[in-house]
A and B are shown apart, each in its own frame.
Chain A
């Protein structure tokens, strides 16, 4: 067993884990955060995407011990101060989800994408999300939601800048 300290959604979690434990199992079974879903456990579907130090990772491809000393953000912490994240709002508003199983991973991956590219084109969104599978939507509304969120975030940034 190994001792790890992982900051999950701003809270430091200490645990003794087996070296083979995957980060996704740490999030679900140790931290009790089940919003990060397991669709394949082989890094193919992206349902388990979370942010490790702000960058999207498939948390079934990362060992918990690799995340030792790092910070992890999951879907549960994306909303802040009672406000949904623009991506969460947009997935809702654009009907970008049906069964919802891929949604947390999609949103986390999209948040990384928008972090590095504030105004992605349709093609860039499609390429950026191509590691996340969805079997319900045909991706069309997901692309629309990410675009909508990108516009919202830019407006919000502009509004914040104007206030200052």
Chain B
């Protein structure tokens, strides 16, 4: 019998019923009597001053109830207190194609759309900035007047003595890496419904209720209060089911405030649902990132210094920018034990949609660069890449060079597991065919590449003088070469310092227990598909020793639920889980003290288990005579399973197929000895004593986990970190440049898997999303216009293209996590991209330094390696050595003019100077 009853079991999601039957309601499924439909007018220009807006023709259209513009809510806001630079609707300037200009509320969508065409906006075009490196040199026409040189934030951190470290290094690798922009593309488009209660005396709008597809109901309430100038107490934010977020709903999106502004003006409820194209414009995804990375290592593979200069193309608004650029630095040097680290990070404003937080926030692109470079170092030093990682492990408990406290560290076991499961050693040792050796040649930058598989344990003196590069494993019959690559990553379990600095707990949970033993958990945590409601229910049921089916979770309704900061930075299991645990312990104490009187024992001797409450020592004796229970099918406790005919789910999960109400018959007071009582009896005893049975628990990260004192030290620290190691096996078609990923082995240290199927789901989902970024996902721009704002053009892997992902769970049992748990939802993503790029190198010997590894880029690299005819790439980009940061995403050529541009536009002048794509020779 396990130590736990529901913890560690594969529990079906508590909201699976409504999701499989179609009865669950997402925001766009909601409607109200008198509801109007809102449509937003977007800017056609990347950078322009608004000279005038005339809405009179639109207002005159029959069916139009209200038209609102920036003047209706001129207060600025932003997710970060230091970055209040947005208007829900542009006030004076538009800063990207797609910026929000006006909103029409009308009786139906068609009327609203028609009205948009009748709004007359006069713009004065301004020079626009698209390339962050050019943008950083701007002397005028800044994206925001108060951000000279278009730099939103820059940070310069030095830990240890990097110069000394590099001087001591035996080998130094240095290269530029570029990761192109990706977006969340959650399946549910953003949607908000806003409704004011009209004051019966004045007829004016009073209390506001907003239903929205958000990961952060509390922040939404906060920003609505700020912009609409209504006290938070008069605003209620409710989060219905959310169809995926991945960070894209982790800040206030303009439509959420716009819906409320329009509802206020129209005196009627207004719903706005973005079209898929608008979702792409709303964006807030992972910024295009330039990483100039230098790593120094000793001959035995020990890293002695790392230095990175990172530039992020942040788009037109601050968003989470400073946090993203800080995460990039803070997590760079904290996965391994690196004594000397230098970090220079620049978050740059450009005239494109704002970037924000996306799964693996800040760490993914820099991790790609670092893990790729580590692979280069291993190859140069003739070391096994897995072994190199093992030689650089942290030794917890410890504090990293940049002040991050690490208590639990399952990375070594993660590496062991993927190495064993993937047959790493055998696959790396596969002999090369003699004929392949013929086309070996030194690499241009003079790095000493060599076949790593022969050398996993060579010492430095055996470093070969012959400079070879892997020509790939045995070509299969289809002419494709196979290879395997390894990489690691990590992520925070919530930020130890909240966005809005205060002493407030980060999570609070209230519990209320009813007389029939039903437990209601009120939590502000936002279920977005990751399973937070199920996690809350599990922890409460575990602590109270009751059936999981007793626990109902009421989540994310600011009128009912206490504050939780939201679902971002993988904070919910750790923080809300700890708050749930404490709330349940609070209630348990109250039940125990009432039960102790009935059981005639000390409070400390009351045991909660199997939906019963025992006097200590009686729990085994009393198992047989089960109380008369009308159990829900699938009750998830050991005692129940032995005695009831629970109907269990047949598949990978346990849990109830149809959740009924739990009606446990109460035992007669005079029945037998009082060794134990049913959970419901114990609850009644407590309620009879106190009149109500409620409890509260909250969580704030401990002071020791909050990091250092330097500027920017607030981002990166977390109470605990997850770890991941992955091996990818790929094959590359040398004729077409197509990369096929055959399988990925992913081991993830989540502390303790509270619900293994949920953890696996998160890890597999993360790896899959990393796979998409590695192989095909990429936002492609021309003059600030997004060229692929649709799910066909912005390709993500389909079911047919997705490989098998084998997930292995590593449990390091964190001392501060709830039951030892840490995050599971983001940490795995970052390792996938470098695991694939390293596998490509292993297969065909080309080192791709620009993501994604599209067939064009791979083929260009293969041709360059063989000295063949060049591919016609935009601006001649070499994906193995990307020097510039072309706006066009590198792999495509465009014809045509794009949006109207200011004649003095720097970017345009540059395009004219750049070699014309037509000069390519393909």
A-to-B contact residues, CB < 8 Å: 18, 28, 33-42, 44-45, 47, 74-76, 78-79, 84, 88-95, 97-104, 107, 123, 125-127, 129-145, 148, 152
Contact = CB atoms under 8 A, between A and B. Distances in A.
Given A42-B792, A76-B22, A129-B800, 5 more contacts: A34-B25, A37-B26, A94-B652, A95-B10, A138-B767
Contacts of B188: 37, 39, 99, 101
Interface in B295-317: none
A147 B53 CA distance: 57
Contact of A140 (B15, B25, B657, B804): B804
A141 B771 CA distance: 17
A82 to B, nearest CB: 8
B244 A98 contact: yes
B242 interface: yes
A137 B796 CA distance: 13
Nearest to A82: B658
A34 to B, nearest CB: 4
5 contacts: A35-B21, A36-B22, A98-B761, A100-B529, A133-B796
A78 B23 CA distance: 12
A99 B242 contact: yes
B657 A100 contact: no
B132 interface: no
B21 A88 contact: yes
Interface of B: 10, 12-13, 15-26, 28-29, 110, 184-189, 241-246, 273, 275-276, 528-531, 649-653, 655, 657, 757-758, 760-761, 764-765, 767-769, 771, 790-792, 796, 798-802, 804-805
A138 B764 contact: yes
Nearest to B531: A98
Contacts of B110: 18
Smallest CB-CB A-B distances: 5 pairs: A35-B22, A99-B529, A93-B651, A101-B243, A138-B768
A130 B800 CA distance: 6
B377 to A, nearest CB: 31
Given A98-B765, A100-B15, A100-B529, A92 B802 contact: no
Contact of B529 (A37, A40, A98, A144): A98
For the residues of A in contact with B, the DSSP-based class is: loop
A99 B652 contact: no
B187 A95 contact: no
A95 B758 contact: yes
A135 B770 CA distance: 11
Contacts of A47: 187
Contacts of A134: 187, 799
Contacts of B651: 90, 92-95, 144-145, 148
A20 to B, nearest CB: 8
A100 B652 contact: no
A89 B21 CA distance: 10
B572 to A, nearest CB: 14
A140 B17 contact: no
B187 A135 contact: yes
Nearest to A108: B22
A44 B788 CA distance: 13
A44 B279 CA distance: 15
Contacts of B13: 92, 95, 97-98
A137 B530 CA distance: 10
A133 B188 CA distance: 11
Contact of B765 (A44, A101, A137): A137
A36 B242 CA distance: 15
B20 A135 contact: no
B799 A135 contact: no
Nearest to A149: B651
A41 B874 CA distance: 32
